[in-house]
Structure formats: C-alpha cells, structure tokens
Structure 1
Amino acid sequence: MVAIAAGGRRFDLKLDAGLPLLEAVHRGFAKAGFESGACDLDGVTLARLSYCIPALSKTPDHVAFYSDTYRPAGPTVISRGALTFGRRDAAPFFHAHALWREADGKIMGGHILPEQTFLAKPATVRAIGLNGALFDAGPDTETGFKIFSPVIAPAAQADGPFMRVFAIRLRPNSDFCGSLEKLCADHGVSHAVLRGGVGSTIGVRFEDGREAPNFATEIFIREGRITPGADGRPEASVDVGLIDYQAQIFEGRFKRGDNPVLITFEIILETDRPWPA
C-alpha cells in the first residue's frame, strides 16, 4: 500500500457541456483550486462515450489487459461511477469506472477513455480535492502498466477548512477491506468515509454469498465507510459496482477479508478529523 496523509475538502464539481470529459473535470477541479482528487459520476449524460472492458492478456507482460474500444451510438447516461483525477506525463488525467445506460437501453459498464468521451449537458457531481498530495501516473514494474499512485505535492490553491485524508493506492494481492482497516487501526482512526475508489480485484466475493468468479474486473466504489466493529476495531463496509471480462455486471457489498486487489485500487479515505491537526 502507498498512503499519504493530506488535507481534503469536499465540494460540488461543475462540469461544462460540450467538452471532453477530461477537460471538463480538469476545469472544475482547477476552478476549486485543486490539482487532484476524486469525484463520482452519478447521473452524468455523455454525448459520446468511448470505453473498454477488462480482457485476458495476449502476452505474459500483463496479468490482464483491455478490450478493444467501444463507442455506442447516441447519448449515454451514467447511473453510478467513480473517478480519480490527477496527472500523467505532467498533464491532467483521470482513471474512471462506471455503469451506464446506452441510448438503446443496454446496461453496460467499464473503463472510460478520458479524451475520447464528451459531455452532452452540464452536470454537478460530488467531489473531494487534495491539499498536499496528488495522484501521479507512472510506470509500475510489478504490473507493467502506468498507474496512479499518490505523491506529496505543494499546498493547493483552494481555501479550507480541510479534513485529514489519506490518498491511497492498494497494490496487487492486498486485501481491500483488510488493508484499509489496518491503516485506520495504525493511525487511530475509528470513523472514515471512502471517496472515489477505482480499480480491480481478483473476482469478487460479496457479503451475501454471491460471487463474480471471473478474475479480471473493472470496479468502482459506490459507497464505503469505516466504523468500529463489535470489538471496537475498525471495520469496512464497502459497496461496489463492476463489470468483468465477459461483460457481466455485478453490484453488492464486499465480503471483508476475501477481496484481493488484481492490479491497483485508488481511494481517498476521509477521516472525521481536521487537517492540519
């Protein structure tokens, strides 16, 4: 795990119509004084969507890969989704997964391509900006991908007040809930909320006993919290949406202790404490 303590402030992110989604997100964060953060994509209408879903890798260089690019005709309405915003090659970039309804009524999901996706109309979404950290995409020798990871950054231009947050990247094979619970226990955090949340796990085991058996997934966090369990130690409750490499869609709550990361997972964990303390 890579985790950097920083300041965070929630705000309403306004997205302008007619722009590439990447440019709209960049402008919205910049207007609020932030270079990096996370947001949801709930209810956003796209004039043009370009996306891919997970795929089996054709070479031994990657454990999984991406499908061909899909571009459905007509407007697409995102039902739920999450986005991590930061930089790649010193330029704005994002990593986003979502579920949506296409113009013909088809329900799909996947990995949204930033510069090939355009907004149909203005939207306002929930966001959190980072102060003192940002997500920067760089080469990752373990996975063979260029991946977002949090790094220390100069103070944001945004006004406070800020809450104490952790900008996090979970590495392959680390248990999702267990990793966050340990982080909270180590730092004396009993209550926290997950903001954003984009990545992949090795299939999914749900709390209700269902499974998403295919190992290659594209997942986003619908809602997540850390609260004290019966023994007083931090426990994670995390609801997710996902699509697998056979285009099967699942939604539900992670089973604690049984969902290891496949390639990466980015999260901002917002505590109930002010920053700086």
Structure 2
Amino acid sequence: MFERRLRQPGPAAKAPFESVIGSGEYLQFTLKTGLSINEAIALPLAEAGLTAASIVLEGGSFAPLHYLMPALSTDGHHAAWYSETNSPEGEAQLERGNVTFGERDGHPFIHCHATWIEAEGRKRCGHVLPHETIVAKPIRATAWGTNDVRMVSQPDAETAFTLFHPIKTAQVPRAKGPRIVVARVRPNVDIIETLEEICRASGFSNARLRGGVGSLIGARYADGTSVDDIATEVFVIDGFVSTRQNLTRLEIVMVDTLGRITQGQLLRGENPVCITFELYLEEA
C-alpha cells in the first residue's frame, strides 16, 4: 500500500503549523517585461510597503523560462527533492500561478508554482525559478498582502530545506484592512484539517484562501481520483475554510514526479503535506 507519511531528516516540530495574524491589503499590478519574475513582483510590492503577500498570476508569458519539477530524493537525507533545471526553447504562455512573496538573506524573494503552455504546445506545471525566469509579455497580478507580517526564508531543522516562515513585524498597520493570517503548514499533517485548526487558533469562524503554494504526498480528490506519488508541486485555485467540519473546500493544481498534471477539490483528512505549504487566509 502507498505510504502517505514521510520520515523527515530532523525532529518533528510540536505544532503542525506556524501562523501570524495581521491586517490585509489588496493590490493589482502588471509584471513588467524584461525583468526577472522575482524583480517584476518585488518592485511594486516594495513600493506599496508590503512585506508578505500571496499573488495570483494570469496571462502573459516567459522567455526564457527555467523551472524545476518535483523529484524523489537520492541523497539518503531529504524526504523529497527537485529535478534538474528545465529550460524549454521559445516563449512559454502562462496560464495561472500562485506566488508567496517574502525575503531571503535580506532581499525580496518569491516562491512560484504555475502552469503554462510551452512553444511546442505542451502544458507543463512546476516550480518557476525566480531570478532566472524573465517576463516576456505583461502578466496580470492580484496580490493580497500585509505590512505587519514578514515571510522570511530560513533553514528548517525538520526538513533540512530553506523555507518561508511567518514572523510578526514591529510595523503598525497603515489601515484597518481585513484580518488575515500568514501561515506555513508543516509535513505529514492533513492540509484541510490543519487549515481549520489555524482558523480556530486565530479566532476566525471562516476564511477565504488567497492563494497558496506547497507540496502534498500525492492527492485524494473529491471526485474519487487520486495521485500516488511522494513528491509533488501544488498551488491553490480556490479555497474556503470553516471551523465547522465538512464546509471547508480546497481546490488545487498538482504536478507529480512524472509530470502528470491534475486538478480538483481535495478530500478532508486524506491529504498530508510533503515538505511545506504556505498560505494566506483572509477572514470571511
């Protein structure tokens, strides 16, 4: 039987998630051509004074595009790993993607999972490399962000990866926007049950998911289909979280180690996180 729990290289943390409550802001902009996707996102968000955000990308294109696929670990240490860098010829037409915005080593940094159509006509999905990938045609961006929470990329003892962690800032919210939670879910816990736990811990009865980027140990979908794989890349299409059981819904796009792309609504209690899952929840 397919095992849906992974032994991580470090000790498991006591809590299944990290989360920080803040005040949210909404922003729309266009990614400028000729810039790396990292710079094209970071510049308008920095100008707006946002320190953490979840961004939905639509339309436009990349050239060149450089990306990674999920892969099995071969080092005997990590629970999962990445493929070698893929660099398709020509222009890749972006369909949709999610981005987590934060910082790494004191500089703006993004984590992006997306789907696109390559020049040969094949649809692909994966982890877009932030500094190497260049915006070729303008991309629409919708961001939900905050100035009183930071997403900081730091070494993670449990997984032995460098991952985003939410941290409260000393900033005073500039305006009273909706209450939000910036969160990171840890490995081997069900994503939907943990989202409900985050809402309860934050005092939210309900919340809307404003994007999300992460990985699951395969998938069990509500339509009865499934993905049996260890390493995947995932981004959120739509989500609503309720502290009442059976009201939460979470729709994702996933790519596995064989490059197979699936999409659907996840079953509650059947979808454990692989390495990490970054999320932005807005109180509903």
TM-score band (shorter)?
over 0.9
Equivalent of residue 111 in structure 1, options 121, 127, 133: 127
Find out whether 1:79 has 2:95 as its counterpart: yes
Matches within 5 A, 1:140-219: 140-155=156-171, 159-219=174-234
Deviations 1:4-63 (A, max 9, x none): 111111110331111011111110211222122110122231121100101111112201
Secondary structure of residue in 1 paired with 2:270: coil
- Measured in 2, the distance between the counterparts of 1:234 and 1:32 equals 37
Q: State the Cα RMSD in Å.
A: 1.6
TM score, norm. by length of structure 2: 0.90
Give the deviation of 1:93 after TM superposition: 0.7
Equivalent of residue 222 in structure 1, options 237, 240, 243: 237
Q: Is the 8 A contact 1:98 1:242 kept in 2?
A: no
Give the deviation of 1:233 after TM superposition: 4.9
- Measured in 2, the distance between the counterparts of 1:214 and 1:191 equals 31
The one-letter code of the counterpart of 1:142 is E
How many residue pairs match? The answer is 268
Q: Which runs of 5+ in 1 are unaligned?
A: 273-277
Equivalent of residue 256 in structure 1, options 247, 263, 268: 268
The one-letter code of the counterpart of 1:53 is M
Matches within 5 A, 1:17-166: 17-155=33-171, 159-166=174-181
Percentage identity across paired residues of the two chains: 38
Find out whether 1:269 has 2:276 as its counterpart: no
Answer 1 or 2: which has greater strand percent.
Answer: 1
Secondary structure of residue in 1 paired with 2:170: coil
Report the CA distance shift for 1:48/1:159 in structure 2 as closer, same or farther (over 3 A): farther
The one-letter code of the counterpart of 1:110 is G
- Measured in 2, the distance between the counterparts of 1:271 and 1:259 equals 23
Give the aligned partner of residue 275 of structure 1. none
Q: Which runs of 5+ in 2 are unaligned?
A: 1-16
Q: Is the 8 A contact 1:37 1:130 kept in 2?
A: yes
Find out whether 1:11 has 2:27 as its counterpart: yes
Give the deviation of 1:67 after TM superposition: 0.3
TM score, norm. by length of structure 1: 0.92
The one-letter code of the counterpart of 2:211 is G
- Measured in 2, the distance between the counterparts of 1:130 and 1:210 equals 37
Secondary structure of residue in 1 paired with 2:247: strand
